[in-house]
Amino acid sequence: MNRRALLAGLTGAVLPFATSRPAFADAEPIWSDWKARFLEANGRVVDSLQGNASHSEGQGYGLLLAQAFGDRDAFDAIESWTRGHLLIRDDTLMAWRWRPEEADPATADNRDWHTATDGDLFRAWGLLRADTFSGWGDYGAEVRRIAEALAALCLKPDPRAPGEVVLTPGAEALGTPDRVLFNPSYVMPRALRELGAYSGVTELIRAADHGETILAELAATGLVPDWSMITPTGFAQPEGFGTNHGYDAIRVALYLHWSGQKTHPALTQKAGVWSGAPALPVVLTPEGQVIERSTFPGYHAIADLIACRPVAPHPDQGEPYYPATLGLLSRVARRESGLCPA
């Protein structure tokens, strides 16, 4: 069985493709606008609200989006910049952040070399898709190396069920054998399953399965938090990390929909929170008290997606990198999940 057929059987969903033309020909202006605002010519994805820094998350998202929109030039530039600036470790995982001051050789050695699992997961998935669906190069060996590093460094036993594995937020994530730090928005089940099937690192498929279980358990206790600590007796508040249902948690429903999990409790919970309000609640307490609202189009795009509403025009308010990027990802998810009518 070839790789494309293997992944088709695993996901049971419409698979991505890219040719010399954009995969979303009618949405090309949206992709061009995103590139003009957030992507430098050298392939660096810039978050202006974070001191014009670049993060492994943004590079991974950018790589995936370039593949989905059929943009080989952008894909190659993003991967080239990433290799030149974030691959400073010995294990094929990326440093999680690069700041403009690190362009100065005098300060370059002070860079933060810790990892962020979601960035590495999306980079590996973008390379996988480019290799399998776009024919943009032979990335198989690199994908396998990343998959092996994620399994070796970013999976930990669940203290409540040591036979199950938990996806942790980084290779150096805080924790002990009986306390595992968990970020629900790092669990992207479809990416984990496709990466595990492609590479043969089946622990990643187990992490996807158990990650969906943990998300359902958290949803049963209240709104899924941005961060949690898994202990032998259940979930606890991690010191120094936010437990509101906030900006991180926005991605949980997006990823579940993309993965075909339309009835998952963490998705239906979000659909209830985002039930058509013009100013969407984006930060809430675990009990549901609204702290912040937003009208950024990217968040509305996710609300429309998980409700399977048609793509609706929302006024562009010069939204920053994060909601604009999630909005583009929601377009890819709509096409690939197979959950909403065409």
Instruction: Tell me the CATH number at 303.
Output: 1.50.10.10
Residue 13's pLDDT band (boundaries 50, 70, 90)?
Answer: very low
Q: Is residue 201 scored above 50 in pLDDT?
A: yes
Q: Could you tell me if residue 28 is inside a domain?
A: yes
Q: Could you tell me if residue 30 is inside a domain?
A: yes
Looking at residue 5, its pLDDT comes to 61
Q: Could you tell me if residue 127 is inside a domain?
A: yes
Q: Is residue 1 scored above 60 in pLDDT?
A: no
Residue 107's pLDDT band (boundaries 50, 70, 90)?
Answer: low
Looking at residue 110, its pLDDT comes to 65
Looking at residue 41, its pLDDT comes to 97
Mean pLDDT of the chain: 91
Q: Could you tell me if residue 179 is inside a domain?
A: yes
Q: Could you tell me if residue 286 is inside a domain?
A: yes
Q: Could you tell me if residue 34 is inside a domain?
A: yes
Q: What percentage of the chain carries pLDDT values higher than 90?
A: 80
Looking at residue 177, its pLDDT comes to 87
- The total number of structural domains in the chain stands at 1
| Angstrom distance (rounded) from CA 273 to CA 266 | 11
Looking at residue 8, its pLDDT comes to 56
Q: Could you tell me if residue 25 is inside a domain?
A: yes
Q: Is residue 2 scored above 70 in pLDDT?
A: no
Q: What percentage of the chain carries pLDDT values higher than 70?
A: 89
Looking at residue 109, its pLDDT comes to 63
As a three-state string, the secondary structure of the chain is: CCHHHHHHHHHCCCCCCCCCCCCCHHHHHHHHHHHHHHECCCCCECEHHHCCEEEHHHHHHHHHHHHHCCCHHHHHHHHHHHHHHCCCCCCCCCCCEECHHHHCCCCHHHCCCCCCHHHHHHHHHHHHHHHHHHCCCCCHHHHHHHHHHHHHHHEEEECCEEEEEEECCCCCCCEECCEEEECHHHCCHHHHHHHHHHHCCCHHHHHHHHHHHHHHHHHCCCCCCCCEEEECCEEECCCCCCCCECCCCHHHHHHHHHCCCCCCHHHHHHHHHCCCCCCEEEEECCCCCEEEEECCHHHHHHHHHHCCCCCCCCCCCCCCHHHHHHHHHHHHHHHHHCCCCC
The pTM for the full model equals 0.93
Q: Which domain holds residue 267?
A: 3-337
Q: Is residue 176 scored above 70 in pLDDT?
A: yes
For the stretch 315-336, pLDDT in tens is 666 899 999 999 999 999 999 9
Q: Could you tell me if residue 342 is inside a domain?
A: no
